[in-house]
Homo-oligomer: A and B are copies of this chain.
Amino acid sequence: MLDAPASVTQTATNDRRIEALLRHREIEEFNNAYAAALDEQRLADWAEMFTDDGFYIVISRENADRNMPVGLIYCENKGMILDRANAMKTEMFAPRYLRHIVGNVQVTGEEANGDIRARANYVVIQVLFDRPAATLHQVGVYYDKFRRVGGALKLAERRCVYDNLLVDNALCLPV
């Protein structure tokens, strides 16, 4: 069989690149909606962004590098994630604003079952009501596994690996 003409090959290549673009954009949109849910303290919406078997951990870079699974927050299914969201209901009204900046989104692979591996850098900036200055509350990387459920992306896994954590009274807030 003859090779496809160059223009057809080019079109196919572009289609694949556009497909990758759309997938990347979809993950960015997810991350932006995720950030907005946390910034606006809509914790129930945050919990709904995980699959039923969703895994969520917030862990220091030091522990993650050593494969020590001890995290500040550890949820191994959506029940635990919902518990976390409910537990926050009182605390969320504490006098503090958080703002998530999520950037550097990279799609890093695809699992056999179709789950998408991705990562992103995040910065959480905090403003305490009784202090004038904003501070860098937490800086790190999201290591994610996304799954399509009923047409929408959900998190089957989000590992938040932080470089630092100001050990203040907001330890238990999700990021």
Assembly CA distance A136 to B137 (angstroms): 12
Q: Counting CB contacts under 8 A, is A173 at the interface?
A: no
Per the CB 8 Å criterion, the residue count for chain A at the interface is 43
B133 touches A32 (CB 8 A): no
A contact patch SS: strand
* A106 and B36 form a contact (CB under 8 A): yes
Q: Which residues from chain B contact A121 at a C-beta distance below 8 Å? A: 35, 39, 99-101
Chain A positions 112 through 154: 1 when the CB is less than 8 Å from some CB of chain B, otherwise 0: 0000000101010101000011111011110000000000000
Give the nearest-CB partner of A108 in chain B. B36
**Chain B contacts for A21, CB-based, 8 A:** 21-22, 25
